[in-house]
Amino acid sequence: DASLAALGLIRVELNAAGDVCATLRHMPAAAAEPWQAVCCSAPWFGPVATGTKHGNWGAYQRATASAREQGASTCLMLRNGHVVDGDRCTPLVLLKPVEGEVHRQPVVWRPAEGCGAVHSVTVALIESHLMQAGFTMQEGPPLTVEALHDADEVIVVGSGVGVQQLRAVDGKIVGNGKTRLLQAARSALQQARRGGWYTVTAVAQCLKHLPAEDGWKHWPAPTGEWLMPSIAQVLLEHRLWGDSAIERGWAPDRLLLHSGGPPSDMATFSMLAGPPTLRFRARQPRPSPHTDRSMCKTSGRSNTGADTKRRRLGTAAEGRIPLLGENGAMRPELCWACEEWSTEQWQPLEPTVSALSLSSALRNVAVAARQAHPSRMPQGTTDSSHLPIRGSSIAGLMGYDLVQWTEPLNLDCVANPDELIGVLYRVDRWLLHDRSRGTVSLWALPGDPWGTHVARVVDGCLPALRPLDLKPINPTPLQHGCKAPGSNCGSAISSMDDESHKKVVNSVQDLIRSGHLYQLNFGRQWTGRLREHPWDLMLRLFTVNASPYSAFLMVPDEGLALCSSSPELLLSTVGGMATTCPIKGTCKRGRDTAEDAKFREEMVADKKELAEHLMLVDLERHDLGRVCKAGSVAWESWRVESFPRVQHMTSRVIGRLRADADSWEALAAVFPGGSITGCPKTVTIAAIDELEPIPRQMWTGSMGYCDLQSGDSQWSILIRTLVAHKAKPDEDNAAKGAATPTHEHSRNCCDCWTAEVKAGGGLTIGSVPQAEVDEAKAKAEKLLHTAFGACTETVSVSTGCNHVEDLGQYEIKPSNPHAAALLSAFSEAANGKARCCPQDCCTAWRCWSHGDPPLAPITAGDVIGESVGSPRVLFIDNLDSFSLNIVNACAILGAEVVIVNGRGPQAPSAAEAFDGVRPTHIIIGPGPGRPEMSPLTMELAQCALAGSLGIPLLGICLGHQALCLAAGCRLVASPRGPVHGVPEDIHHDGQQLFGGLPSPVRMVRYNSLVVLEAEAKTEEETIDQQGRLTACAWDESRTLVMAVRHTRLPVCGVQFHPESAGSCSGSALFN
């Protein structure tokens, strides 16, 4: 009705009870005099507040009343001393021009929603009109009341107050009396209210950018890997991500998980985390007063290689593993301090979560994240089922030093006390790029201010986005000295010289010959000053070193940035299925596709490369076996993947999680990855602690996410990774003798950032020292060149692959005897999995420790032949990385397996283990070192030979050696050299254990030591002094004993590993 239109505005409200209230508001007339204002504290609705102030009008009503009592027209709302809102209006400030920028458009400031301001529909409606009038609209950064005094003009805008000029706040003059903004805003409001009314079209246009009610908004998009970095750069420019987001009240912490290179079946999504509101930080615990820290190595960024403190030697290097519990060594609690973002900084939030294991600590973090402000957590719908997340997620960084809570070791070479070792965020906002479907998806709470702004930005920029144009970097020489880091950009200092690196290779080979380990991954470090900001470096790496698990993290208040171009997946859990994709085996790229294929064939024909890869597959099967159902763990695929600089041999190992295991337990089971530690994992981690001069800290840790709703997760291994640290202004200038830099210089200058690049490789008995040095440099080269402009001596930066469009995956072909043999075992394992009993028929395994109550006995008939009930196997775990493969092989056959630790202070005696478990069978498992290092192993071997057990016993590798030692045989270094991860023809006599198996049968060996017959034998047919053991299998040369059995008792031992993925007929042998 035209007569009503002249009266003003009708406001319609719907309350929770369903009642409708309509209020008629007159169109306010312009005030004769400028308004006076007073200040009061603003309520905090959280960083996602918008629209209706969440129904809490009390504070605003009290502010209005307070203003009237003081004779003022309105009240400005302050939070932490900054203007965030008005009681019935929104303040707009015409900022004074910056000196020297006379031609710049006038800038109009308004409060940032993330700082606590509430979305103003009136401001949104007049914003476009003001821009047409020549003004630039700027949201944030927060302004103090004092800043209003320097402004050219201050006005307030609202649906009820119209547009009014503000002349004083708390009695002090603001603005300089100009009315340019006042007149333009009144004109804009009149245009917006046609005849005094908002149109439905205008309101809909204002609100259209809000996410849908389920939190999702989707756009069609290109599939190119360049898209997400380009979007991230646009968000930075709009102050919606990164350091400048703090000006709008959002956390400046950045996290981007990027799928680079060709789309793969494992990494199809790039995921940008919006500003987080909840954070958890873990720091290295302080040592207890009884800990002797003088025996520890120096750690941190100041150490460039020389050990300036004494360090403990002669433990792992001599086969003595520093286990927890020995000499009173105890594991400290792992604490994650919870923090909440509040406008300008992170604030502590109780409680701090802690636990004595990584899996428990992470599980507690997830619980705390769910309980903190659950109303801010979006929930997914079935429409998002194809996306990797369903709702809020835990995402972030876990440093390698968290190994202290996954392995039973007392380690020395760890981060300094209170140094950051992990940071995790609860992410409630995601921007996702699905490269397989060609879509971009925004995930946020309905009405979330950040989501609203991002939707508007993506709407506007997506059609015009193109790959970023980056300037090239010229190389500079790489230094290999052991000096302190240089102060100039563009240089890098190595933590050790090449000769020292070669000595480490020789030392590791001595450990392998002694039987202490099979393979060890060693790394060295380069340190220098960056030539550009870490984010600019990461943009460059996205282009020149595309990788499927790339990641960028920045934690500004820690001065930490991390740039990763990782090609390797540590763990993925989707729908209860766990997957790990180990990488082992590397060759260079060729000049064309034909040369690529040639190098691949050479790698697959390399016996060392195949052995390392099989070893890693067996290790990952063991790690997944900790948390997956027996019979579900499988070696699913084996292929070569090409990357811009190298080609890698990769595999996929999968398993179905047990009902009592979650994704956090799965993550702890595989952390840290076997490809960057070695085998057996526990002893190699102890050896790395002694051999590497600098703590690994973040390198070879992990970055990724876990969805809090579904439990789906994905975590990478942090290789090909640079860790940057921002120098404090006083430190940076003291080093260079310069004056204190400006804030802008401190934020952008590359001189403020020092960085570390680590790289290495797997060392085996077949390693060539110079080749290992070259491989480490080749792996680090691209990062060194990009970060410091440094190039190694191994490969010229100008060489390499010039046909990167041919990145992809290639199946392994049986082009040589070694690959053909392994492919045969791979096929047999796949077929065997299809034929094995259903997973629900497999029995579970359990652990038993000293002090646990005895298990109930099993009712059985002839336990040597057919049993009435399920057999119970006592398995002695000697810290091997293949133990769970043996355990699950027995469980598949219907056995109940009880695991007892064979090493460490908690290992029971043979009598305690036998009486506590009450087994029907015993298996003494493999392990590093010699059998004498496991008293329980030797005691059981002696009891078995004496006939006091009365049940079958099988010794595998170390267990086999224990039987022979107990019988008086000799245990020596193999005269034919160590053999690890190599399938070999085993010749046998076809009796008992080998009944029904072909001879020769192909089995995988992992041994450096072999058994020789006793020097004074009593019988020709036996190998021991008392005529109790006879050899029944031999190696390919028929000179080395590969199996023994007792002449009268059901006791036998095998030197090979029937449980290996590369062994044939292993299940038949266990059966």
Active-site amino acid positions:
957, 1057, 1059
Which CA distances in Å does 197 have to 25, 130, 194?
11, 19, 5
Beta bridge partners of 754: 529, 725
Which among 135, 239, 203, 213 has a CA at the least distance from the CA of 454?
Answer: 239
Name the phi and psi angles at 363, rounded to 5: -65, -40
Q: Give just the sign of the alpha carbon dihedral 946, 950, 955, 958.
A: negative
CB 466, CB 253: distance < 8 Å = no
Beta bridge partners of 345: 342
CB 783, CB 757: distance < 8 Å = yes
Which CA distances in Å does 980 have to 255, 316, 610, 613, 752?
40, 19, 10, 11, 47
User: Who contacts 178 (Cβ-Cβ below 8 Å, separation ≥6)?
Assistant: 94, 152, 153
Q: Which residues of 72-97 are buried (b: 16+ CB within 10 A; e: fewer)?
A: bbbbbbbbbebbbbbbbbbbbbbbee
Give all strands (DSSP E) within 212-356, no chain letters.
216-220, 254-258, 269-273, 278-283, 334-342, 345-348, 353-355
The H or E element that residue 594 is part of is: helix 593-605
Which CA distances in Å does 355 have to 181, 335, 876?
58, 7, 27
Can you tell me which residue has the tokens 């004494």? 310
Can you tell me which residue has the tokens 């301090």? 337
Kindly give the pairing relationship between strand 790-791 and strand 583-588: unpaired
Using CA atoms, how far apart are residues 331 and 326, in angstroms rounded to an integer?
Answer: 11
Residue type, 174: V
Using CA atoms, how far apart are residues 476 and 464, in angstroms rounded to an integer?
Answer: 36
Tokens of 565: 């171009």
DSSP SS3 for 951: coil
CB 388, CB 707: distance < 8 Å = yes
Tokens of 75: 């009240």
Which among 145, 178, 184 has a CA at the least distance from the CA of 163?
Answer: 184
Which CA distances in Å does 55 have to 231, 321, 452, 757, 877?
35, 62, 20, 52, 61
Report which DSSP code applies to 1055: S
DSSP 970-981: EEEE-TT--EEE
User: Who contacts 271 (Cβ-Cβ below 8 Å, separation ≥6)?
Assistant: 256, 257, 258, 388, 389, 430, 431, 432, 433, 705
Residue type, 75: C
DSSP 299-341: -STT--S---S----SSGGGT---BTTGGG--PPPEEEEEEEE
Q: Give burial (CB, 10 Å; 0-12/13-18/19+) of 1016.
A: exposed
CB 720, CB 783: distance < 8 Å = yes
DSSP SS3 for 1019: coil
